[in-house]
Amino acid sequence: MCGIIAYKGNKNSTNIILNGLKILEYRGYDSWGVASKNDKIHIFKEIGKIGEINKINLPNAKIAIGHTRWATTGSITKENAHPHLSCDNKIAVVHNGIIENYEELKKNLKNHRFVSETDTEIIPHLIEENINLGLFEAVKKVANLLEGRSAFIVISEYSDDLIAVRKGAPLILGISNDEYFIASDIPAFLDYTKNVNYLDDNEMVVIKDNPTFFNFETGDEIKKRIITIEWDKEQARKGRYDHYLIKEIMEQKETINRAINQDESEIQKIANEINNAFGTFFVGCGTAGKVCHAGEYLYSKIAKKHINFVVASEFSNYKHFLTDKTLMIAVSQSGETADTIEAIETAKKQNVKVISLINVKGSSINQKSDYSLLINAGPEKAVASTKAATSQLALLLLLAYASANRLKEGKLLLIETAGMINDMLNLRYEEHIKRLAERIYENEHLYIIGKAANYPMALECAIKIQEISYMHAEGFAAGELKHGPIALIEKSTPCIILVANDETKKDVLVNAQELKTRGAYTIGISPEYNKIFDYWIKVPDAGDASPIVNIIPIQILSYHLALLRKHDPDLPRNLAKSVTVK
């Protein structure tokens, strides 16, 4: 969940690192720091946000490392911020992940002085303990000692080498002439290069004049292929928008079309795998989990096929059902979600085939999958997922149609839906939703109901409102109201009703009337007006694609609720974009 960036080249490294850390802010953090090296290692650390800082008090250097920390082990203090140093102050380390055996390792470092509460600090001390082997061998030995998913980068006064290690957490090498960048995410160096090498698990890279890759378990050298990233650096910038979140919401005018612009034979191939599997699981976390849940409904309705949805963190409890005929469809924007990776590893132990829907080529989930489909949403930098979620929904919907041998029909529906979204996302529409936000932002409770595939979207609406505005929001299956939740409704309680123009419409409107009768302020998200609604937000009549169009107004509403409640919509508290730790 932490952000890492390193640089070795001929420019002022501290400026490059500072800019990279600002770009990595979207990953979520509570403190940050930089270490640069000329003859000596120099450190700068701070608590809080980088903000408008444009220069830090470090000497010019050609090699540096930087870090944004999201606290896991140890509280939020300067001492716990990265980089961390060895006792002799000659080795500096930044680290992402959790070292599961750090207490055991720390007990063996009896002659070392620790200044932080973190698990990370044992890394520079362990390297120092073995530095007589040389920096490379010392780092290799330490990499083999650590348990758990992690990644770390080392600079030292013992060598001019820049060394990075991947053991389950993401690291990517960017290459530009005689300059090298290492980061946990591509946008950190996208201003400088699109040429990358992905480190795989149990690999390390040593950068002297050129990078050399090794398997740190065997010591074998590895040859890597340079890959050119297709992302445009302008996609990773806010442009004319005040925040990444609203920019990414508005980009859904294009991203649905990009998601379904796939090789039809490949879509049909995956659909056939689903049809032929003896048990298929849709697996994801958070928003991706709600997408998977909706996919379960879509497959039932369109393909007449039962799919099992499981939250990734719970998947290990289903391992007793898995066979070599089982199929897993893993969904993740980043491709680095720790719980989803663990679910994949559980599946692989039972010889389950894994297909993933991801947004980041070369990510851990991409590498662990038998086959991957890219959703092609482009960089998503706001912590709250928007365009990636609707792109994932579009692909699952397309697969459902392909499983029913109606691929062209599904593609036409989604092309038409994308066109309607393009018409819908305009300034007047946003202003209409902003007026609703102004009416309800002082409320502390808000409820959302939906039915069929719009029930998981009600849950997703609640996630969006919770994480961005910090309002208490809950989503319910519409028919469950009378089984308990309706007791929460009192006069003027805002209640959002997700309506599709299908066989569920009548039942959902009946439930909406029950809310209104008990004093709720009813907000309809629907293709058609109904007198039950106190406030109506029109959405296109998109048929089976209604979950896609119904979630978008709530994304906009969440954004404006956050602004009115004076919260940062891009960086909600306590959250990170890519949850790379359990």
201 band by pLDDT with thresholds 50, 70 and 90: confident
Q: Residue 5's pLDDT is what?
A: 94
* Mean pLDDT of all residues in 39-55: 83
Question: With 0-12 CB in 10 A as exposed, 13-18 as middle and 19+ as buried, what is 233?
Answer: middle
- pLDDT at position 574: 73
pLDDT band of 71, cuts 50, 70, 90: confident
- High-pLDDT (> 70) share of the chain, %: 96
What pLDDT does residue 216 have? Answer: 94
Chain centre distance of CA 511: 34
Provide mean pLDDT across the span 315-321: 91
Q: Which of 28-32, 90-94, 102-106, 228-232 has the highest mean pLDDT?
A: 90-94
CA–CA separation, 173 and 180 (whole Å): 7
Task: Return the SS3 of 353.
Answer: strand
User: pLDDT class for 553, splitting at 50, 70, 90?
Assistant: very high
So what's the pLDDT on residue 249? 96
Q: For each of the domains in the chain, give its residue range(s) and CATH number, in order of start.
A: 3-229 (3.60.20.10), 253-424 (3.40.50.10490), 426-582 (3.40.50.10490)
Task: Say which of 411, 451, 464, 577 is annotated catalytic.
Answer: 577
Specify the higher pLDDT residue, 141 or 579.
Answer: 141
Whether the per-residue pLDDT at 199 is higher than 60: the answer is yes
CA 494 – CA 519 distance, rounded (Å): 9
Q: How confident is the model at residue 152 (pLDDT cuts 50, 70, 90)?
A: very high
What is the per-residue pLDDT across 461-486, written as a single tens digit (0 to 9) for each?
Answer: 999 999 999 999 999 999 888 788 88
Q: Report the percentage of the chain scoring pLDDT > 90.
A: 66
Give φ, ψ of 166 to 5 degrees: -115, 125
Of 74 and 569, more confident: 569
- Return the DSSP state at 359: S
Which band of pLDDT confidence, cut at 50, 70 and 90, is reported for residue 284?
A: very high
- Which residue would you say has higher pLDDT here, 369 or 381? 369
Q: State the pLDDT confidence band at 576, using cuts at 50, 70 and 90.
A: low
**What is the pTM for the complete model shown?**
0.76
Confidence grade of residue 28 (pLDDT, cut at 50, 70, 90): low
Instruction: Reply yes or no on whether the pLDDT at 581 is more than 70.
Output: no
Q: What is the pLDDT of residues 122-132, one digit of tens each?
A: 999 999 999 99
Mean pLDDT of the chain: 91
pLDDT at site 120? 92
Mean pLDDT value across residues 158-180: 91
Contact 150/164 with Cβ under 8 angstroms? Answer: no
Instruction: Write out the two tokens for 469.
Output: 């505005």
* 136 pLDDT higher than 90: yes
434-465: per-residue pLDDT in tens? Answer: 999 999 999 989 999 999 999 999 999 999 99
Of the pLDDT bands very low, low, confident and very high (cuts 50, 70, 90), residue 40 is very high
Query: What does the pLDDT look like over 330-363, one tens digit per residue?
Result: 999 988 888 999 999 999 999 999 999 999 887 8
Report yes or no: 66 and 94 within 8 Å, Cβ to Cβ. Answer: yes
pLDDT of residue 27: 64
Residue 577 confidence (pLDDT) = 57
Beta strands in 9-114 (DSSP E): 31-37, 41-47, 63-69, 84-85, 91-97
Which element (helix H / strand E) includes 179?
A: strand 179-183
Q: What is the DSSP string of 129-154?
A: HTGGG-HHHHHHHHHHH--SSEEEEE
Using DSSP's 3-state secondary structure scheme, residue 443 falls into coil
The predicted pLDDT at position 146 comes to 94
**Which of 2, 285, 292, 461 is flagged as catalytic?**
2
> What number of other Cβ atoms are within 10 A of residue 178's Cβ?
10
- Give the mean model confidence (pLDDT) for residues 408-427: 92
Tokens of 472: 């208490």
| Secondary structure class of 561 (helix, strand, coil) | helix
Catalytic (active site) residue 2: yes
> H/E element holding 403?
helix 387-403
Eight-class DSSP state of 318: G
**Range of weakest confidence among 10-19, 300-309, 407-416, 541-550:** 10-19
Residue 85 scores a pLDDT above 70? yes
Q: What is the DSSP string of 219-237?
A: --EE----EE----GGGGS
Q: What is the mean pLDDT of residues 293-300?
A: 97
Q: What is the pLDDT of residue 75?
A: 82
Amino acid 476: pLDDT: 93
